[in-house]
A = this chain, B = another copy of it.
Amino acid sequence: MYSFKNDYTEGAHPRILQALIESNFDQEEGYGRDRFTLKAISLLKEKMANPNVDIHLVSGGTQTNLTAISAFLRPHEAVIATTAGHVFTHETGAIEATGHKVISVETEDGKLNPAKIIEVLNSHTDEHMVKPKLVYISNTTEIGSIYNKRELTDLKAFCEEYNLFLYMDGARLGSALCSVDNDLQLSDIPALVDAFYIGGTKNGALLGEALVITRNSLKEDFRFHLKQKGALLAKGRLLGIQFYELFRDDLFLDLAKHANKMANILSEGCRNAGFSFLIDSPSNQLFPIFPDTLIAELQKSYSFYVWEQIDATNSAVRLVTSWATKEEEVRAFVEEINRVGK
């Protein structure tokens, strides 16, 4: 049984484990004050060519989202997200648990744009309603699509005009940046959002996300929020070592490229075998539509999520590749769909 269920199915890239071993007996300060974290942060600032951002390493995505968003907002302010947005559906009300409403917007492609947001603003007009304040986007989105530079630039300009914060969930930012359709660089992002995070967990780390805060007014006292939300690891070195290893050369991008390459082989395989997709994804999550009979057959050897029933005899499935996905397994999967066929 081979799994295409997720990009957090294996442990960590071996270089990361090696780095943990090598540093293991160094005595370090706790709570993110260790030398590895400081070096990782310094390196990330270099990579972004931006010494003024604040960076905090956090253990996971929900943790990062809830800590950042609750720190950024006043009690009456709300988040705008798509109905697919991770904070809207898949974090067990984590944002609401910190007191803030998440206003949802229907989209086809998982992406927000000024036209969608202005509708929300127009329907939130006075103090009997929450005040929309933070626009939450994911890149890649929860359905595998990505934002290009033009889209993000427009979104940012819009947010500035309407006095909104723009926050990007980058759980799969590596895959986005390495997509064939991408025209963004990591160093572009700080100027285009108020805060975002670079996902490590889904791109080769044991755990860890690097939250980057670019707007000055959002930086103050952030470590208090981390501690209050249980997000400050005693052995912060564990995060620092990993991010240092991922970014001291191109490892982070190389791992994402591998994931995307594996996805590419899969998607071409599906297309060549005559299958269409629920959504056209240029990243490491694919949503091909298969006959239910094929799905049943595939499930004998592969694990993956059945995403959505399409009609009486077909369903969309989700296939996810990662830094650890093996090319021979991908090719075997493609062979299998050709073998079973429609």
Chain A interface residues toward B at CB < 8 A? 2-3, 5-6, 8-12, 14, 17, 20-21, 23-31, 59-67, 70-71, 74-76, 78, 89-94, 96-102, 127-131, 201-202, 206-207, 221, 223-235, 237-238, 324
**Is A129 a contact partner of B89 (Cβ separation < 8 A)?**
yes
Q: How many copies does the complex hold?
A: 4
**Is B91 a contact partner of A227 (Cβ separation < 8 A)?**
yes
Residues of B within 8 A of A5 (CB): 29-30
Q: Which of B10, B64, B232 contacts A25 (CB 8 A)?
A: B10
Residues of B within 8 A of A128 (CB): 31, 90-92, 227
A20 to B20, CA, bound (A): 10
**Is B99 a contact partner of A96 (Cβ separation < 8 A)?**
yes
**Is B71 a contact partner of A93 (Cβ separation < 8 A)?**
no
**Is B94 a contact partner of A228 (Cβ separation < 8 A)?**
yes
Further pairs besides A92-B129, A101-B102, A229-B229: 20, Cβ < 8 Å: A6-B234, A8-B30, A10-B25, A11-B23, A11-B26, A14-B21, A17-B21, A59-B207, A59-B233, A62-B232, A64-B230, A66-B230, A75-B97, A76-B228, A93-B130, A96-B130, A130-B228, A131-B221, A206-B238, A207-B233
In the complex where A76-B92, A128-B90 touch, is A207 in contact with B235 (Cβ < 8 A)? yes
A206 nearest CB neighbor, chain B only = B238
**Is A75 a contact partner of B230 (Cβ separation < 8 A)?**
no
**Is B59 a contact partner of A78 (Cβ separation < 8 A)?**
no
**Is A228 a contact partner of B97 (Cβ separation < 8 A)?**
yes
**Is A224 a contact partner of B67 (Cβ separation < 8 A)?**
no
CB-CB nearest 9 A-B residue pairs: A63-B230, A76-B224, A11-B24, A92-B228, A127-B223, A93-B101, A93-B130, A8-B234, A92-B227
Residues of B within 8 A of A100 (CB): 93, 96-97
Which among A14, A28, A75 has the greatest number of chain B C-beta atoms within 10 A? A75
